[in-house]
């Protein structure tokens, strides 16, 4: 096995230029941990915020990356033999310890989810964080075939995944975007009604409103989502594109009687809790029920450009990094 590896190291808080490609020692396996040869990693806005300095608990330098897929190189867990395909997400990856922006990652055994699949790496890498969040949020909503779902923040990677899941199960879907040039991508992803969100009132296609709302924008739109959803419907908050806090939130005044407000956090789907869900997602992708939307694939050398691409909100769907390129 190699003794050194290439990794993208965030050397300090700042712009994309603080991500530097360095040659580091391959981490030594220790009790309770597994060394994974990283084959792909999804990029996420939480990593962008960490790089910008908005994660006070993170100490630099740090290899970012809250998710990855790859192959077990060495493990202290007999249930994870060398060569096993695995996925990992959250659990302080890229925050308390180094994450997926590298050729190898040393990860806690309990985070790893073995996967049996023939999907290409650029497809499998698009699934863990995005589809576990989307599937978990859809499950939390309790939506059923024939019902109506409004996705706020539809062109985010989780929004596109949620649309794919909902459409795969016979749900009528409306989704919002702030950019007219992204409307076509939402339609191509199977969204029935594309709504342009210019900050004013949304032109909801259903007279009595959606039965469910998946709010990925978060703090700035939750109260409006509660107003839009059909009386007795459910709003699930699973994103924070507009921040974390709802100012002056008054539950009794702002949640209509009988309407439900819930949330889903992707950290709830890590490790064993997420393994069965990920297997379900993988099977549905393999059979074409779910159709992942990969916007762009970057190599490790281009990680700073990938962050710049995310920061400028140019993506429609998932952005990936493959340490060894796409060949």
Give Cβ neighbours of residue 188 (< 8 Å, ≥ 6 apart).
none
Give Cβ neighbours of residue 312 (< 8 Å, ≥ 6 apart).
none
Q: What is the pLDDT of residues 24-34, one digit of tens each?
A: 999 999 999 99
Strands (E), the chain: 4-10, 19-25, 33-42, 62-63, 67-75, 85-89, 104-108, 113-114, 148-152, 172-177, 193-196, 212-215, 234-237, 260-263, 294-299, 318-322
**199-to-39, 68, 138, 151, 203 alpha-carbon distances in Å:** 40, 35, 25, 15, 12
The count of other CB atoms within 10 Å of the CB of residue 169 is: 15
Look at residue 15 and tell me whether its pLDDT is greater than 80: yes
Span 62-88, average pLDDT: 97
Span 265-275, average pLDDT: 80
Burial state string for 132-143 with b = 16 or more CB within 10 A and e = fewer than 16: bbbbbbbebbeb
Look at residue 226 and tell me whether its pLDDT is greater than 60: yes
Look at residue 187 and tell me whether its pLDDT is greater than 80: yes
pLDDT band at 219 (very low <50, low <70, confident <90, very high): confident
Distance CA 280, CA 274 (A): 10
């Amino acid at each position: 096995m190699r003794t050194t590896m290439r990794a993208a190291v965030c050397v300090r808080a700042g712009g994309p230029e603080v991500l530097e490609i360095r040659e580091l020692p391959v981490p030594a396996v220790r009790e309770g941990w597994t060394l994974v040869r990283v084959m792909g990693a999804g990029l996420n806005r939480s990593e962008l915020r960490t790089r910008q300095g908005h994660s006070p608990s993170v100490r630099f330098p740090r290899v970012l990356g809250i998710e990855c897929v790859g192959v077990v190189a060495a493990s202290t867990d007999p249930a994870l033999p060398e060569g096993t395909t695995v996925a990992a997400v959250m659990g302080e990856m890229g925050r308390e310890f180094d994450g997926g922006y590298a050729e190898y990652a040393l990860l806690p055994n309990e985070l790893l989810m073995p996967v049996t699949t023939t999907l290409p790496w650029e497809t499998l890498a698009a699934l863990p964080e995005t589809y576990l969040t989307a599937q978990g949020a859809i499950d939390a909503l309790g939506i059923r075939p024939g019902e109506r779902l409004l996705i706020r923040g539809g062109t985010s990677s989780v929004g596109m995944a949620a649309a794919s899941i909902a459409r795969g199960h016979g749900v009528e879907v409306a989704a919002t975007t702030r950019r007219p040039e992204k409307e076509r991508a939402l339609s191509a992803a199977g969204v029935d009604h594309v709504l342009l969100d210019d900050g004013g009132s949304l032109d909801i296609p259903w007279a009595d409103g959606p039965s469910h709302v998946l709010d990925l924008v978060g703090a700035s739109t939750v109260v409006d989502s509660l107003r839009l959803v059909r009386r007795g419907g459910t709003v699930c908050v699973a994103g924070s594109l507009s921040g974390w806090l709802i100012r002056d939130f008054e539950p009794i005044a702002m949640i209509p009687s009988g309407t439900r407000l819930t949330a889903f956090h992707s950290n709830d789907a890590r490790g064993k809790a997420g393994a069965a869900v990920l297997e379900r997602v993988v099977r549905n992708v393999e059979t074409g029920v779910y159709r992942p939307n990969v916007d762009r694939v970057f190599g490790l050398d281009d990680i700073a450009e990938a962050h710049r691409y995310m920061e400028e909100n140019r993506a429609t769907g998932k952005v990936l990094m493959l340490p060894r390129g796409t060949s």
